[in-house]
Structure 1
Amino acid sequence: MTGWEAVGRLRSGEGYCTGTLIEADIVLTAAHCLHDDDGRPVVPQGVWFEVGFGSGAPAVRRGVTDWVISPGYSDIGGIELDEAMIANDVALLRLSEAIPPEDARPIALHPAQAPEKTVYLAPYGDALHRGASVPRSCGLLARYAGGILLFDCKAGYGASGAPILAEQGGGLRILSLVSATGTDEDGAARVFGMELTTHVVILKDRLTRHAAPPARTRTNVLSGGAKGSGGARFVRAPGKAAPKD
Protein backbone atom coordinates (compact mmCIF):
# COMPACT_ATOMS: atom_id res chain seq x y z
CA MET A 1 0.00 0.00 0.00
CA THR A 2 1.16 3.54 -0.80
CA GLY A 3 -1.26 5.09 1.69
CA TRP A 4 -3.35 6.86 -0.96
CA GLU A 5 -5.65 4.06 -2.11
CA ALA A 6 -8.54 5.97 -0.51
CA VAL A 7 -8.29 8.51 -3.35
CA GLY A 8 -10.18 7.06 -6.29
CA ARG A 9 -12.16 7.65 -9.44
CA LEU A 10 -15.82 8.64 -9.23
CA ARG A 11 -17.50 7.61 -12.49
CA SER A 12 -20.86 8.61 -13.91
CA GLY A 13 -21.65 8.53 -17.60
CA GLU A 14 -18.58 9.07 -19.76
CA GLY A 15 -16.66 11.36 -17.43
CA TYR A 16 -15.15 11.17 -13.98
CA CYS A 17 -14.20 13.14 -10.90
CA THR A 18 -12.05 12.34 -7.88
CA GLY A 19 -13.53 11.01 -4.65
CA THR A 20 -11.92 10.16 -1.32
CA LEU A 21 -12.91 7.47 1.15
CA ILE A 22 -13.37 9.11 4.57
CA GLU A 23 -15.10 6.09 6.15
CA ALA A 24 -15.26 2.50 4.96
CA ASP A 25 -18.52 3.17 3.11
CA ILE A 26 -18.55 6.98 2.71
CA VAL A 27 -16.89 8.98 -0.08
CA LEU A 28 -16.25 12.73 -0.09
CA THR A 29 -16.34 14.69 -3.35
CA ALA A 30 -17.52 17.96 -4.93
CA ALA A 31 -21.28 18.47 -5.26
CA HIS A 32 -20.97 19.60 -8.88
CA CYS A 33 -19.65 16.13 -9.74
CA LEU A 34 -23.16 14.80 -9.10
CA HIS A 35 -24.83 17.09 -11.64
CA ASP A 36 -24.75 17.02 -15.41
CA ASP A 37 -23.81 20.01 -17.54
CA ASP A 38 -27.39 21.28 -17.43
CA GLY A 39 -27.37 21.27 -13.62
CA ARG A 40 -29.55 18.17 -13.29
CA PRO A 41 -28.65 15.74 -10.46
CA VAL A 42 -27.50 12.27 -11.47
CA VAL A 43 -29.13 9.22 -9.88
CA PRO A 44 -27.05 7.41 -7.22
CA GLN A 45 -27.40 4.11 -9.08
CA GLY A 46 -25.52 5.60 -12.03
CA VAL A 47 -22.40 6.44 -10.00
CA TRP A 48 -19.43 4.16 -9.29
CA PHE A 49 -16.40 4.59 -7.04
CA GLU A 50 -13.16 2.81 -8.00
CA VAL A 51 -9.87 2.55 -6.11
CA GLY A 52 -6.57 0.70 -6.43
CA PHE A 53 -5.16 1.40 -9.89
CA GLY A 54 -1.63 0.04 -9.51
CA SER A 55 -2.12 -2.44 -12.36
CA GLY A 56 -4.01 -0.04 -14.61
CA ALA A 57 -7.43 -1.41 -13.64
CA PRO A 58 -9.39 -0.75 -10.43
CA ALA A 59 -8.82 -3.30 -7.68
CA VAL A 60 -12.10 -2.38 -5.99
CA ARG A 61 -15.31 -1.03 -7.48
CA ARG A 62 -18.42 -0.06 -5.53
CA GLY A 63 -21.83 1.26 -6.50
CA VAL A 64 -23.50 4.20 -4.75
CA THR A 65 -26.82 3.81 -2.93
CA ASP A 66 -27.35 7.39 -1.77
CA TRP A 67 -25.74 10.81 -1.87
CA VAL A 68 -26.31 14.17 -0.21
CA ILE A 69 -24.99 17.64 -1.06
CA SER A 70 -24.51 20.75 1.03
CA PRO A 71 -27.88 22.48 1.57
CA GLY A 72 -26.24 25.72 0.40
CA TYR A 73 -25.33 24.33 -3.04
CA SER A 74 -27.52 24.90 -6.11
CA ASP A 75 -26.21 23.90 -9.54
CA ILE A 76 -27.12 26.24 -12.39
CA GLY A 77 -25.40 24.22 -15.12
CA GLY A 78 -22.72 25.43 -17.49
CA ILE A 79 -19.01 25.58 -16.86
CA GLU A 80 -18.93 28.40 -14.32
CA LEU A 81 -19.30 28.42 -10.56
CA ASP A 82 -19.95 31.51 -8.45
CA GLU A 83 -18.66 32.13 -4.93
CA ALA A 84 -21.70 30.63 -3.17
CA MET A 85 -21.41 27.45 -5.24
CA ILE A 86 -17.69 27.06 -4.50
CA ALA A 87 -18.17 27.60 -0.76
CA ASN A 88 -20.84 24.85 -0.67
CA ASP A 89 -19.48 22.48 -3.32
CA VAL A 90 -19.42 19.43 -1.02
CA ALA A 91 -21.09 16.00 -1.23
CA LEU A 92 -21.02 12.68 0.59
CA LEU A 93 -21.87 9.33 -1.02
CA ARG A 94 -22.88 6.08 0.64
CA LEU A 95 -21.32 3.03 -1.01
CA SER A 96 -23.24 -0.17 -1.68
CA GLU A 97 -20.66 -2.08 0.37
CA ALA A 98 -17.87 -1.03 2.71
CA ILE A 99 -14.29 -1.17 1.39
CA PRO A 100 -12.07 -3.17 3.76
CA PRO A 101 -8.99 -1.41 5.21
CA GLU A 102 -6.61 -3.82 3.49
CA ASP A 103 -7.84 -2.40 0.16
CA ALA A 104 -8.08 1.27 1.14
CA ARG A 105 -7.65 3.07 4.44
CA PRO A 106 -9.94 6.11 4.84
CA ILE A 107 -8.33 9.54 5.14
CA ALA A 108 -9.45 11.75 8.04
CA LEU A 109 -10.49 15.37 7.79
CA HIS A 110 -8.25 18.15 9.05
CA PRO A 111 -9.84 19.27 12.33
CA ALA A 112 -9.22 23.01 11.96
CA GLN A 113 -7.79 25.73 9.79
CA ALA A 114 -4.28 24.80 8.70
CA PRO A 115 -1.70 27.28 10.02
CA GLU A 116 0.93 26.17 7.52
CA LYS A 117 0.88 27.31 3.90
CA THR A 118 2.10 24.11 2.25
CA VAL A 119 -0.67 21.75 1.13
CA TYR A 120 -0.81 18.65 -1.06
CA LEU A 121 -3.12 17.92 -3.98
CA ALA A 122 -4.08 14.31 -4.61
CA PRO A 123 -6.28 13.93 -7.70
CA TYR A 124 -7.20 10.59 -9.24
CA GLY A 125 -4.90 9.77 -12.14
CA ASP A 126 -1.95 11.69 -10.73
CA ALA A 127 1.48 10.13 -10.23
CA LEU A 128 0.47 8.78 -6.81
CA HIS A 129 -1.57 6.10 -8.63
CA ARG A 130 1.52 5.08 -10.55
CA GLY A 131 3.53 4.34 -7.44
CA ALA A 132 4.46 7.73 -6.02
CA SER A 133 4.30 7.81 -2.22
CA VAL A 134 3.25 11.44 -1.67
CA PRO A 135 0.81 13.76 -3.50
CA ARG A 136 2.34 16.84 -5.15
CA SER A 137 2.82 19.93 -3.01
CA CYS A 138 1.44 23.42 -3.62
CA GLY A 139 0.49 26.41 -1.50
CA LEU A 140 -2.46 27.80 0.42
CA LEU A 141 -2.47 31.44 -0.72
CA ALA A 142 -5.53 33.06 0.85
CA ARG A 143 -8.78 32.60 2.75
CA TYR A 144 -11.83 34.64 1.75
CA ALA A 145 -14.99 35.43 3.66
CA GLY A 146 -17.67 32.82 3.12
CA GLY A 147 -15.28 29.89 3.45
CA ILE A 148 -13.47 30.02 0.08
CA LEU A 149 -9.81 29.00 -0.07
CA LEU A 150 -7.30 29.88 -2.81
CA PHE A 151 -4.40 27.59 -3.73
CA ASP A 152 -1.60 27.76 -6.31
CA CYS A 153 -2.14 24.10 -7.25
CA LYS A 154 -2.48 22.95 -10.86
CA ALA A 155 -5.51 20.73 -11.53
CA GLY A 156 -5.78 18.46 -14.57
CA TYR A 157 -8.76 16.58 -16.00
CA GLY A 158 -10.64 14.59 -13.39
CA ALA A 159 -9.42 16.75 -10.49
CA SER A 160 -12.89 17.97 -9.50
CA GLY A 161 -13.55 16.79 -5.94
CA ALA A 162 -9.90 15.89 -5.34
CA PRO A 163 -8.67 16.26 -1.76
CA ILE A 164 -6.29 19.05 -0.79
CA LEU A 165 -4.42 17.84 2.26
CA ALA A 166 -2.50 19.51 5.08
CA GLU A 167 -0.25 18.07 7.74
CA GLN A 168 -1.73 17.34 11.16
CA GLY A 169 -0.66 14.93 13.87
CA GLY A 170 2.21 13.51 11.86
CA GLY A 171 0.12 12.74 8.77
CA LEU A 172 -1.88 14.35 5.99
CA ARG A 173 -5.58 15.08 6.46
CA ILE A 174 -8.19 16.53 4.12
CA LEU A 175 -8.34 20.31 4.36
CA SER A 176 -10.41 21.15 1.26
CA LEU A 177 -11.62 19.89 -2.13
CA VAL A 178 -10.93 21.08 -5.66
CA SER A 179 -14.01 22.98 -6.83
CA ALA A 180 -12.98 25.48 -9.51
CA THR A 181 -9.92 26.66 -11.38
CA GLY A 182 -8.64 29.97 -12.67
CA THR A 183 -5.49 31.99 -13.32
CA ASP A 184 -3.97 35.07 -11.75
CA GLU A 185 -2.99 38.25 -13.59
CA ASP A 186 0.25 36.59 -14.69
CA GLY A 187 -1.49 33.50 -16.01
CA ALA A 188 -0.41 31.22 -13.14
CA ALA A 189 -2.79 28.35 -12.35
CA ARG A 190 -5.06 28.70 -9.34
CA VAL A 191 -7.47 26.31 -7.61
CA PHE A 192 -10.44 27.30 -5.46
CA GLY A 193 -11.75 25.14 -2.62
CA MET A 194 -13.80 25.50 0.53
CA GLU A 195 -13.68 25.09 4.31
CA LEU A 196 -14.90 21.54 4.91
CA THR A 197 -15.47 20.61 8.53
CA THR A 198 -18.95 22.04 9.10
CA HIS A 199 -20.22 20.75 5.76
CA VAL A 200 -19.15 17.19 6.51
CA VAL A 201 -20.74 17.19 9.98
CA ILE A 202 -24.08 18.31 8.49
CA LEU A 203 -23.90 15.91 5.56
CA LYS A 204 -23.06 12.89 7.71
CA ASP A 205 -26.21 13.57 9.71
CA ARG A 206 -28.26 13.92 6.51
CA LEU A 207 -26.81 10.73 5.09
CA THR A 208 -27.56 8.81 8.29
CA ARG A 209 -31.17 9.97 8.15
CA HIS A 210 -31.38 9.48 4.36
CA ALA A 211 -32.47 13.08 4.14
CA ALA A 212 -31.12 14.12 0.76
CA PRO A 213 -32.19 17.69 -0.05
CA PRO A 214 -34.83 18.04 -2.78
CA ALA A 215 -33.92 19.23 -6.25
CA ARG A 216 -33.52 23.00 -6.28
CA THR A 217 -34.98 25.52 -8.65
CA ARG A 218 -32.48 26.88 -11.17
CA THR A 219 -31.37 30.44 -10.40
CA ASN A 220 -29.18 33.06 -12.04
CA VAL A 221 -25.47 33.12 -11.23
CA LEU A 222 -24.86 35.41 -8.28
CA SER A 223 -22.85 38.52 -8.97
CA GLY A 224 -21.90 39.28 -5.37
CA GLY A 225 -19.77 37.09 -3.20
CA ALA A 226 -16.86 36.49 -0.91
CA LYS A 227 -14.96 39.48 0.33
CA GLY A 228 -11.77 39.83 -1.64
CA SER A 229 -12.89 37.77 -4.65
CA GLY A 230 -14.33 40.70 -6.54
CA GLY A 231 -17.61 39.00 -7.40
CA ALA A 232 -15.78 36.88 -9.97
CA ARG A 233 -17.07 33.71 -11.54
CA PHE A 234 -14.79 30.71 -11.88
CA VAL A 235 -14.47 27.74 -14.22
CA ARG A 236 -15.36 24.34 -12.79
CA ALA A 237 -12.34 22.16 -12.23
CA PRO A 238 -11.83 19.77 -15.16
CA GLY A 239 -13.69 16.49 -15.12
CA LYS A 240 -17.40 16.67 -14.32
CA ALA A 241 -18.96 13.31 -13.64
CA ALA A 242 -21.59 13.39 -16.37
CA PRO A 243 -20.64 15.50 -19.38
CA LYS A 244 -23.04 16.04 -22.25
CA ASP A 245 -22.35 14.35 -25.59
Structure 2
Amino acid sequence: MTLTELNAPLQPLGIAAPIDIEAEAADRRVRLAQQVAAVRRRSRLIHLLRRLLPGLIIALGLFNVGWIVAQTIINSMNVYNGNLNEIRYTNPRYYGQGSNGDRYTISGLEAVRKGMNATTISLKAPSMEFKSSDVENPTRVSAANGVFDQTTNKFTLTGHVVIAAGGSDFVLRTEQAVVDMDKSIVYGDKHVDGNGSAGHIVGESFLVSDNGHSLDIKGRGDTKAWATITEQ
Protein backbone atom coordinates (compact mmCIF):
# COMPACT_ATOMS: atom_id res chain seq x y z
CA MET A 1 0.00 0.00 0.00
CA THR A 2 1.29 3.43 -0.93
CA LEU A 3 0.53 6.80 0.56
CA THR A 4 -1.97 7.45 -2.20
CA GLU A 5 -4.02 4.36 -1.33
CA LEU A 6 -5.60 5.79 1.80
CA ASN A 7 -8.89 4.01 1.33
CA ALA A 8 -7.36 0.54 1.01
CA PRO A 9 -8.69 -1.98 3.59
CA LEU A 10 -6.45 -2.85 6.59
CA GLN A 11 -4.86 -6.30 6.65
CA PRO A 12 -5.36 -8.37 9.85
CA LEU A 13 -2.20 -8.78 11.99
CA GLY A 14 -3.18 -12.15 13.50
CA ILE A 15 -5.78 -13.94 15.53
CA ALA A 16 -5.72 -13.19 19.35
CA ALA A 17 -5.82 -16.20 21.71
CA PRO A 18 -9.10 -16.44 23.58
CA ILE A 19 -8.96 -15.70 27.35
CA ASP A 20 -10.14 -18.55 29.63
CA ILE A 21 -12.12 -16.53 32.12
CA GLU A 22 -13.23 -19.57 34.13
CA ALA A 23 -9.66 -20.87 34.63
CA GLU A 24 -8.45 -17.47 35.77
CA ALA A 25 -11.34 -17.19 38.20
CA ALA A 26 -10.62 -20.67 39.56
CA ASP A 27 -6.96 -19.76 40.08
CA ARG A 28 -7.96 -16.61 41.97
CA ARG A 29 -10.31 -18.66 44.15
CA VAL A 30 -7.49 -21.12 45.01
CA ARG A 31 -5.11 -18.30 45.98
CA LEU A 32 -7.81 -16.63 48.03
CA ALA A 33 -8.59 -19.91 49.83
CA GLN A 34 -4.90 -20.38 50.66
CA GLN A 35 -4.64 -16.87 52.07
CA VAL A 36 -7.80 -17.37 54.13
CA ALA A 37 -6.45 -20.69 55.50
CA ALA A 38 -3.13 -19.05 56.48
CA VAL A 39 -4.97 -16.23 58.25
CA ARG A 40 -7.12 -18.74 60.11
CA ARG A 41 -4.07 -20.74 61.22
CA ARG A 42 -2.38 -17.62 62.59
CA SER A 43 -5.60 -16.65 64.31
CA ARG A 44 -5.93 -20.06 65.97
CA LEU A 45 -2.26 -19.96 67.10
CA ILE A 46 -2.68 -16.49 68.60
CA HIS A 47 -5.86 -17.60 70.34
CA LEU A 48 -4.11 -20.68 71.75
CA LEU A 49 -1.15 -18.65 73.03
CA ARG A 50 -3.49 -16.16 74.67
CA ARG A 51 -5.04 -19.04 76.59
CA LEU A 52 -1.79 -20.87 77.46
CA LEU A 53 0.52 -18.02 78.47
CA PRO A 54 -1.49 -16.89 81.52
CA GLY A 55 -1.66 -20.49 82.70
CA LEU A 56 2.10 -20.95 82.28
CA ILE A 57 2.78 -17.74 84.19
CA ILE A 58 0.50 -18.86 87.04
CA ALA A 59 2.13 -22.33 87.11
CA LEU A 60 5.62 -20.81 87.25
CA GLY A 61 4.57 -18.55 90.10
CA LEU A 62 3.10 -21.50 92.03
CA PHE A 63 6.29 -23.50 91.46
CA ASN A 64 8.44 -20.69 92.86
CA VAL A 65 6.21 -20.37 95.91
CA GLY A 66 6.27 -24.14 96.44
CA TRP A 67 10.07 -24.23 96.16
CA ILE A 68 10.43 -21.48 98.75
CA VAL A 69 8.07 -23.31 101.11
CA ALA A 70 9.93 -26.61 100.60
CA GLN A 71 13.29 -24.97 101.30
CA THR A 72 11.90 -23.41 104.45
CA ILE A 73 10.58 -26.76 105.68
CA ILE A 74 13.85 -28.55 104.91
CA ASN A 75 15.89 -25.92 106.71
CA SER A 76 13.57 -26.06 109.70
CA MET A 77 14.13 -29.83 109.90
CA ASN A 78 17.91 -29.23 110.09
CA VAL A 79 18.66 -31.53 107.18
CA TYR A 80 21.90 -29.69 106.56
CA ASN A 81 23.07 -29.62 110.14
CA GLY A 82 25.92 -31.97 109.23
CA ASN A 83 27.40 -29.38 106.88
CA LEU A 84 26.72 -26.52 109.28
CA ASN A 85 28.54 -28.36 112.07
CA GLU A 86 31.62 -29.09 109.99
CA ILE A 87 34.78 -27.54 111.37
CA ARG A 88 37.50 -27.00 108.78
CA TYR A 89 41.16 -26.27 109.37
CA THR A 90 43.69 -25.09 106.79
CA ASN A 91 47.24 -26.45 107.01
CA PRO A 92 46.54 -28.30 110.27
CA ARG A 93 49.28 -29.77 112.44
CA TYR A 94 48.75 -32.17 115.34
CA TYR A 95 51.29 -33.32 117.90
CA GLY A 96 50.98 -36.34 120.13
CA GLN A 97 52.69 -39.14 121.97
CA GLY A 98 51.87 -42.83 121.90
CA SER A 99 51.56 -45.07 124.92
CA ASN A 100 55.09 -46.34 124.22
CA GLY A 101 56.52 -42.83 124.49
CA ASP A 102 57.17 -42.28 120.78
CA ARG A 103 56.24 -38.83 119.53
CA TYR A 104 54.35 -38.23 116.30
CA THR A 105 53.31 -35.29 114.12
CA ILE A 106 50.38 -35.20 111.68
CA SER A 107 49.91 -32.43 109.10
CA GLY A 108 47.94 -31.85 105.89
CA LEU A 109 46.45 -29.33 103.50
CA GLU A 110 43.02 -29.37 105.15
CA ALA A 111 41.29 -31.12 108.04
CA VAL A 112 37.54 -31.57 108.58
CA ARG A 113 35.89 -32.49 111.86
CA LYS A 114 32.21 -33.52 111.65
CA GLY A 115 30.98 -31.60 114.68
CA MET A 116 32.50 -30.53 117.97
CA ASN A 117 32.06 -33.96 119.58
CA ALA A 118 33.31 -36.01 116.64
CA THR A 119 36.20 -38.36 117.39
CA THR A 120 37.43 -38.64 113.80
CA ILE A 121 39.20 -36.06 111.66
CA SER A 122 39.51 -36.31 107.87
CA LEU A 123 42.61 -34.88 106.22
CA LYS A 124 43.55 -34.06 102.64
CA ALA A 125 47.12 -34.78 101.53
CA PRO A 126 48.15 -35.92 105.03
CA SER A 127 51.72 -36.44 106.10
CA MET A 128 52.86 -38.11 109.30
CA GLU A 129 56.13 -38.90 111.00
CA PHE A 130 56.96 -40.63 114.26
CA LYS A 131 60.08 -41.81 116.06
CA SER A 132 61.41 -42.69 119.47
CA SER A 133 63.93 -40.53 121.27
CA ASP A 134 66.86 -42.83 120.43
CA VAL A 135 66.23 -42.89 116.65
CA GLU A 136 67.80 -40.31 114.36
CA ASN A 137 65.52 -40.65 111.30
CA PRO A 138 61.75 -40.78 111.79
CA THR A 139 59.40 -43.05 109.86
CA ARG A 140 57.38 -40.94 107.43
CA VAL A 141 54.01 -41.75 105.84
CA SER A 142 52.14 -39.66 103.25
CA ALA A 143 48.99 -40.23 101.19
CA ALA A 144 46.16 -38.57 99.28
CA ASN A 145 43.63 -38.88 102.12
CA GLY A 146 43.61 -39.84 105.76
CA VAL A 147 41.27 -40.36 108.72
CA PHE A 148 42.54 -39.96 112.28
CA ASP A 149 40.49 -41.79 114.91
CA GLN A 150 41.13 -40.27 118.32
CA THR A 151 39.31 -43.10 120.09
CA THR A 152 41.58 -45.87 118.80
CA ASN A 153 44.56 -43.57 118.21
CA LYS A 154 44.92 -44.98 114.70
CA PHE A 155 45.49 -43.13 111.46
CA THR A 156 44.16 -44.72 108.23
CA LEU A 157 45.71 -43.45 105.00
CA THR A 158 44.41 -44.17 101.49
CA GLY A 159 45.48 -43.36 97.95
CA HIS A 160 49.12 -43.29 96.81
CA VAL A 161 50.50 -44.16 100.22
CA VAL A 162 54.28 -43.79 100.54
CA ILE A 163 56.11 -45.14 103.59
CA ALA A 164 59.73 -44.24 104.25
CA ALA A 165 61.02 -46.55 106.99
CA GLY A 166 63.21 -44.42 109.22
CA GLY A 167 65.41 -47.26 110.44
CA SER A 168 66.23 -48.42 106.90
CA ASP A 169 66.42 -47.01 103.40
CA PHE A 170 63.35 -48.89 102.18
CA VAL A 171 60.48 -46.95 100.61
CA LEU A 172 57.16 -48.78 100.34
CA ARG A 173 54.25 -47.84 98.09
CA THR A 174 50.69 -49.08 98.52
CA GLU A 175 47.08 -47.90 98.36
CA GLN A 176 46.15 -48.22 102.02
CA ALA A 177 47.97 -48.27 105.33
CA VAL A 178 47.09 -48.01 109.01
CA VAL A 179 49.34 -46.34 111.57
CA ASP A 180 48.91 -47.49 115.17
CA MET A 181 50.28 -44.57 117.15
CA ASP A 182 50.30 -46.43 120.47
CA LYS A 183 52.59 -49.13 119.05
CA SER A 184 54.42 -47.01 116.44
CA ILE A 185 53.74 -49.54 113.68
CA VAL A 186 52.46 -49.23 110.12
CA TYR A 187 50.60 -52.13 108.53
CA GLY A 188 48.30 -52.95 105.64
CA ASP A 189 46.79 -55.79 103.64
CA LYS A 190 46.96 -54.22 100.17
CA HIS A 191 49.49 -54.83 97.42
CA VAL A 192 52.82 -53.28 98.37
CA ASP A 193 55.92 -52.48 96.34
CA GLY A 194 59.21 -51.62 98.02
CA ASN A 195 62.70 -50.56 97.01
CA GLY A 196 65.87 -50.22 99.03
CA SER A 197 69.54 -51.08 99.13
CA ALA A 198 68.63 -54.73 99.78
CA GLY A 199 66.66 -54.93 96.52
CA HIS A 200 63.09 -54.88 95.29
CA ILE A 201 60.22 -56.39 97.29
CA VAL A 202 56.65 -57.09 96.18
CA GLY A 203 54.00 -58.43 98.53
CA GLU A 204 50.33 -58.42 99.45
CA SER A 205 50.65 -57.34 103.09
CA PHE A 206 53.24 -55.57 105.19
CA LEU A 207 54.24 -54.53 108.68
CA VAL A 208 56.75 -51.82 109.57
CA SER A 209 57.83 -51.87 113.21
CA ASP A 210 60.75 -51.23 115.56
CA ASN A 211 61.10 -47.61 114.41
CA GLY A 212 61.46 -48.73 110.79
CA HIS A 213 64.23 -51.25 111.45
CA SER A 214 61.93 -54.23 110.88
CA LEU A 215 60.00 -54.73 107.63
CA ASP A 216 57.77 -57.77 107.28
CA ILE A 217 56.48 -58.30 103.72
CA LYS A 218 54.23 -61.26 102.95
CA GLY A 219 52.64 -62.66 99.83
CA ARG A 220 49.24 -64.16 99.24
CA GLY A 221 47.96 -66.92 97.01
CA ASP A 222 49.28 -70.25 95.82
CA THR A 223 52.95 -69.36 96.24
CA LYS A 224 52.54 -68.32 99.90
CA ALA A 225 55.76 -66.37 99.46
CA TRP A 226 56.82 -63.91 102.14
CA ALA A 227 59.99 -62.17 103.18
CA THR A 228 61.25 -60.47 106.30
CA ILE A 229 64.08 -57.97 106.17
CA THR A 230 65.64 -56.82 109.41
CA GLU A 231 68.41 -54.27 109.46
CA GLN A 232 71.00 -54.88 112.13
- Does TM, scored on the shorter chain, surpass 0.5? no
Whose strand fraction is larger, Structure 1's or Structure 2's?
Answer: 2
User: Under TM normalisation by the shorter chain, which class is it?
Assistant: under 0.3
Greater gyration radius: 2
TM-score (norm 1): 0.21
